[in-house]
Chains A and B, each alone.
Chain A
């Protein structure tokens, strides 16, 4: 991570936003505060409805907060909205492309908007754009999801923004394309662009320098991925048996087991006391479980997120 400087790329202080639809009142953001350092890859991690898009729209000057202040590149999102719009890049969750323009036309349109040209900043988008260049005469509407995503990223970058806001760039994208997309982001980071990216995929948190875990408009925690995992103090075990579903049902009935969640090929369990693990194994064998494997493990971001979600 780059050395911290006085200037912050993003400052959010006590931001609040409520929406009303008839009688319905929804608090999208509840007193949110955080800062992003220049050159940082900062993740906003949370499920749908957590408030991610509202936050991004406030920071990109497309929406006003009810309360609080926010700055991007040292500029106020309300007073200096015109300057901010020239300086930042924004890739909204819903594709922002013109469906009936070709790939090349979309990119040159965005370049023109910012008084630049494709050739001027080509080095910045080159790695991404070469992957879609073979289809440059194809209409954007006829592209697949993965290709649209790469074109939208190119368009958001073409004016060499100082801060890039990516709202759920990998939602609905397959595991391989997600991996490739994150490689692109890490290369961009080397070019001194601050990146703020949101995602509902917990496994992507580990690829950020720091993350904010967002749930129902509240920040559950902000830290480096290792910092978040480090704060998870409860002993955690991964457990397997031949019949995983029955194992979960049995574990959920046991009083010593504080929680049990399926995690891929394992279940992650928390016990009320660490030494209970010995009797647990015996009890499960008595219940007829075979091929039992129990091992002490480190928490993942997803374990931490679920623990933080619990009412305290």
Chain B
């Protein structure tokens, strides 16, 4: 079953084709790495898929909802986190969970149950009353990821979730991604760490608004005669003509 279907999706800003006829599908439980150089069009594409920006042309559905007609339904059925935007620093851990629970339409009983299980899983029971700003970045990111899954969305969009995180926590974070995927949640993730590209089931690489390559890390490495995903990325990114606009 495909939870994301994209067909010739484009977004133009005047004469500039930020996203130029991209097509792909992502299936249930898949970890899909969405790579590209700065300015290749990743953010624009991701904003459309999250229902935050209307396409210029093309079709797409996310979690079974049409991008043009049901943007609000999409927002309710996805989770989102990034390094820049995740939790409210001036609220405690418990308050953040309650806020997002309410935001996603969970009732009090559900919020209570979720809070308990989440604090237990993250071993944060004793810290629930602490302000989020007092947490180390790594904890914050793990908490943010759990919060993004609070309403059990079909898909979670992760925009550079591990930027700046220490190497051990970065790996713990990926264990959480695998666990979510095992539970059937689709994970759509961007990253600048090329080792993390290897952890995805499939990867797409955008160059100048188009998807230039797509496949499993093993297939891509074979196709481009590369030793690592980093080499595949460099080979493709070097072809970019428009620079990072």
CB-nearest residue of chain A to B240 = A176
Asked if A49 is at the interface (CB within 8 A of a chain B CB), the reply is yes
How many angstroms from the CA of A106 to the CA of B216 in the assembled complex? 44
Known: A174-B37, A177-B244. 20 other contacts (CB 8 A): A47-B138, A48-B137, A48-B164, A50-B166, A144-B39, A146-B244, A147-B244, A171-B164, A172-B160, A175-B192, A175-B194, A175-B233, A215-B166, A262-B171, A263-B195, A264-B195, A264-B198, A264-B199, A306-B167, A309-B167
- B167 near A202 with CB under 8 A, answer yes
How many angstroms from the CA of A172 to the CA of B37 in the assembled complex? 10
Sampled A-B contacts (30; CB under 8 Å): A24-B131, A24-B134, A47-B137, A47-B165, A48-B165, A144-B244, A145-B38, A145-B244, A147-B244, A173-B192, A174-B36, A174-B37, A175-B192, A175-B194, A176-B233, A178-B192, A179-B234, A244-B199, A262-B171, A262-B174, A263-B195, A264-B194, A264-B195, A264-B197, A264-B228, A265-B217, A265-B221, A265-B228, A309-B167, A309-B168
Chain B: residues with Cβ within 8 Å of the partner, total of 42
Write out the residue numbers on chain B whose beta carbons fall within 8 Å of the beta carbon of A47.
137-138, 164-167, 169
Chain A: residues with Cβ within 8 Å of the partner, total of 37
Main secondary structure of the interface of A (DSSP, over half): mixed
Write out the residue numbers on chain A whose beta carbons fall within 8 Å of the beta carbon of B195.
262-264
How many angstroms from the CA of A202 to the CA of B134 in the assembled complex? 25
| B residues lining the A interface (CB < 8 Å) | 36-39, 83, 131, 133-134, 136-138, 160, 163-169, 171, 174-175, 178, 192-195, 197-199, 217, 221, 228-230, 233-234, 237-238, 243-245
- CB of A79 to closest CB in B, whole Å: 34
Write out the residue numbers on chain A whose beta carbons fall within 8 Å of the beta carbon of B178.
245
Residues A239-273 near B (CB distance < 8 A): 244-245, 248, 261-265
- A76-97 vs B, Cβ < 8 Å mask (1 yes, 0 no): 0000000000000000000000
How many angstroms from the CA of A288 to the CA of B195 in the assembled complex? 26
Most B-side CB within 10 Å, residue of A46, A49, A179, A261 = A49
Asked if A183 is at the interface (CB within 8 A of a chain B CB), the reply is no
Asked if A305 is at the interface (CB within 8 A of a chain B CB), the reply is yes
How many angstroms from the CA of A309 to the CA of B133 in the assembled complex? 22
How many angstroms from the CA of A147 to the CA of B217 in the assembled complex? 30
Asked if A66 is at the interface (CB within 8 A of a chain B CB), the reply is no
- A302 near B167 with CB under 8 A, answer yes
- CB of B175 to closest CB in A, whole Å: 8
Most A-side CB within 10 Å, residue of B136, B168, B228 = B168
Most A-side CB within 10 Å, residue of B192, B229, B238 = B192
Write out the residue numbers on chain A whose beta carbons fall within 8 Å of the beta carbon of B174.
262
How many angstroms from the CA of A262 to the CA of B199 in the assembled complex? 9
- B137 near A261 with CB under 8 A, answer no
- B38 near A173 with CB under 8 A, answer yes
How many angstroms from the CA of A270 to the CA of B66 in the assembled complex? 49
CB-nearest residue of chain A to B244 = A144
- CB of A95 to closest CB in B, whole Å: 14
- CB of A198 to closest CB in B, whole Å: 11
Write out the residue numbers on chain A whose beta carbons fall within 8 Å of the beta carbon of B193.
201
How many angstroms from the CA of A112 to the CA of B198 in the assembled complex? 48
The 10 closest A-B pairs by CB, nearest first: A48-B164, A264-B195, A47-B166, A144-B244, A176-B237, A264-B198, A174-B37, A146-B244, A265-B198, A48-B137
- CB of B81 to closest CB in A, whole Å: 16
CB-nearest residue of chain A to B196 = A264
- CB of A49 to closest CB in B, whole Å: 5
Write out the residue numbers on chain A whose beta carbons fall within 8 Å of the beta carbon of B38.
144-146, 172-174, 177
Write out the residue numbers on chain B whose beta carbons fall within 8 Å of the beta carbon of A302.
167
Most A-side CB within 10 Å, residue of B166, B198, B217 = B166
How many angstroms from the CA of A46 to the CA of B217 in the assembled complex? 28
- A306 near B168 with CB under 8 A, answer yes
Write out the residue numbers on chain A whose beta carbons fall within 8 Å of the beta carbon of B137.
47-49
- B39 near A175 with CB under 8 A, answer no
How many angstroms from the CA of A202 to the CA of B171 in the assembled complex? 14
- CB of A65 to closest CB in B, whole Å: 22
Write out the residue numbers on chain B whose beta carbons fall within 8 Å of the beta carbon of A174.
36-38, 192, 233, 237
- A172 near B163 with CB under 8 A, answer yes
Write out the residue numbers on chain B whose beta carbons fall within 8 Å of the beta carbon of A200.
163-165
- CB of A300 to closest CB in B, whole Å: 10
Residues A126-183 near B (CB distance < 8 A): 144-147, 171-179
How many angstroms from the CA of A234 to the CA of B237 in the assembled complex? 37
Residue in contact with B171 in the complex, picked from A147, A175, A261, CB distance below 8 Å:
A261
- B238 near A176 with CB under 8 A, answer yes
CB-nearest residue of chain B to A261 = B171
Write out the residue numbers on chain B whose beta carbons fall within 8 Å of the beta carbon of A145.
38-39, 244
How many angstroms from the CA of A48 to the CA of B168 in the assembled complex? 13
- CB of A13 to closest CB in B, whole Å: 26
Residues A25-68 near B (CB distance < 8 A): 46-50
- B136 near A49 with CB under 8 A, answer yes
CB-nearest residue of chain B to A259 = B168
CB-nearest residue of chain B to A264 = B195
